[in-house]
Structure 1
Amino acid sequence: MGKRVYYVFHLEQVPATGRWRFIDMGAEEELRMGEQAFKSTLQQYQGQILPSSAAAVHQVQRVAKRIICACEDLDMQRSQDTIPTQWTIHVIHDPNQKNAFVLPGGHIFVFTGILPVCQSDAGLATVMSHEIAHQLARHSAEKVAGSKVLFAAAFVLEMMGLDIGLSRILLNLVMNLPNSRKIESEADELGLRIMSKACYDPHEAVYFWYV
């Protein structure tokens, strides 16, 4: 009974979409998690982070500033206890890494390998809007909370005699994978709103993701 009350008490709606989800991590705890990941990332890629004078950094900063301003205009606040985001932008020189991500707290990392794939500012805006949408919707905290639910459910199934490996495979198919798709779809939707507000053509997203 207590666990059920705890679960219901920590249900909330994503402000920008209205989707209900379980999340029991406060903004301060999420920020601490992001700062730890930020320090770890800086240490991991020490020597590969480009200086502000690099052309790739100029492009990323140019696009990021428009997207961040668009987020403020859309008023995509996360919750009442939201801590103001202190955005930082880092470009990592690694031609083989076709990736970009945003850590809790607003730490943006873009690998140079993704830039040729993006081809233009609009393509880069597609990627960055999607990743920033994850941050604004607190998807990292939601995934941590979801892992707790999966662990608890797996424990119950194992106590009932179901094989450990089988129980976790079933829970992954029934709970984890569908929720991951919901999160990615939500980031796509929010990303389109953001890049459109930033005056980038949202049709570029269709070309980027599906062509």
Structure 2
Amino acid sequence: MWSFVYHTYLVQIPYISRTPIFQLETVPYTNRIHFVIRSPLDDREYAESCFAFVRKNHSSKFLSPLHPDSVRVNLITAQLLRAVQRGLDIKNRDVALIHESSCKDVSLDARHAIESKKQGKLCKSQSQTAHLDGLAWEVIVVKNDRHVGAMSWPHGKIIVFTGLLIHLKTDAEIATALSHDIAHVVARHSSESIVYKKWFPFPLMVHFLRRMEIEADHIGMLLMAAAGFDPHIAPMVLEKQGNDIYHPSGKKRAQLLSRAKVMDEALELYREVMPAKAPEV
């Protein structure tokens, strides 16, 4: 699976931090508190090193940006990134509503931020989004028909293998996979995972890495719904996935996304963007 390839690259590229940080942050959308160990700047520089390793060893398999597969994937990604940007724009518009707070960051989910303010809990539930500012997002398709997957880095680079495009036929199915990888960047999972890999015993490390994958599924489904893709597709896609060291089974992932509370949240976003296409529930 692509996660094995991704984590293999992380092992081969040594991590060096010039500006180490150890702080708690709140994940956008899910509002989960997590511990990060890298600054956004270090995240991007480390990602550049990892991506340079990939480019050096696999650039001959990179498809041209004008290749039909590259064009298609970039168009889908553009829709997903606009959904992320809309969330940031909502955050900026609503800063005035909470300007008296001493906290600096505001959740991507403005509705949650406003409601939290009413409950007097804003400082505990704010999400960090500054790491998304100025990201040079780029999607690259790599020729590998046997590799069904994609992977992303904190500096905005996303690789999609042609095996994924063979396995997933529709734009909504491809959006499910892409939104999952965008969600990893939004949630700063790369920086969080270092904590588990450095100091946690293997069983616990696997548990928490799988938890991040489940969270990326959740955030990804919200992003694809906000971009106008039917969120019902996400559990269907994940159910086809196998499991590996870092991922729960596809069946479990699909069940978690199909829960009423999670799906209803995504459907609300979907109806706001595509009311004419929203299914009757």
TM-score by length of 1: 0.81
State, as a whole percentage, how many aligned pairs show the same letter.
28
Q: Compared with structure 1, are the counterparts of its residues 147 and 135 closer, same or farther at alpha carbon in structure 2 (3 Å cutoff)?
A: same
* 1:122-179 superposed Cα distances (whole Å, 9 cap, x missing partner): 11000000011011111011111222332xxxxxxxxxxxxxxxxxxxx322x21221
* 1:65-84 superposed Cα distances (whole Å, 9 cap, x missing partner): 10111111122474446542
Structure 2: where are the runs of 5+ without partners? 1-21, 89-107, 109-126, 241-281
Retained in 1: the 8 A contact 2:129–2:186?
Answer: no
3-state SS in 2 of match to 1:89: strand
Give the number of aligned pairs.
182
Whole-Å Cα distance in 2 between the matches of residues 16 and 197 of structure 1? 12
The equivalent position to 1:172 in structure 2, one of 185, 199, 202, is 202
The equivalent position to 1:37 in structure 2, one of 28, 42, 50, is 50
Q: Compared with structure 1, are the counterparts of its residues 60 and 181 closer, same or farther at alpha carbon in structure 2 (3 Å cutoff)?
A: same
3-state SS in 2 of match to 1:45: helix
Out of 188-197 and 51-60, give the one that drifted further.
Answer: 51-60
How far residue 33 of structure 1 moved from its aligned partner, in angstroms, is: 0.7
- Correspondence for 2:229: 200
How far residue 206 of structure 1 moved from its aligned partner, in angstroms, is: 1.4
The equivalent position to 1:123 in structure 2, one of 173, 178, 188, is 173
Larger RCO: 1 or 2 (CA < 8 Å, sep 6+): 1
Matched, 1:20 2:33: yes
Moved over 6 A (4+): none
Structure 1: where are the runs of 5+ without partners? 1-8, 151-170
Whole-Å Cα distance in 2 between the matches of residues 58 and 80 of structure 1? 29
Retained in 2: the 8 A contact 1:78–1:138?
Answer: no
Whole-Å Cα distance in 2 between the matches of residues 81 and 207 of structure 1? 31
Matched, 1:137 2:187: yes
- Correspondence for 1:58: 71
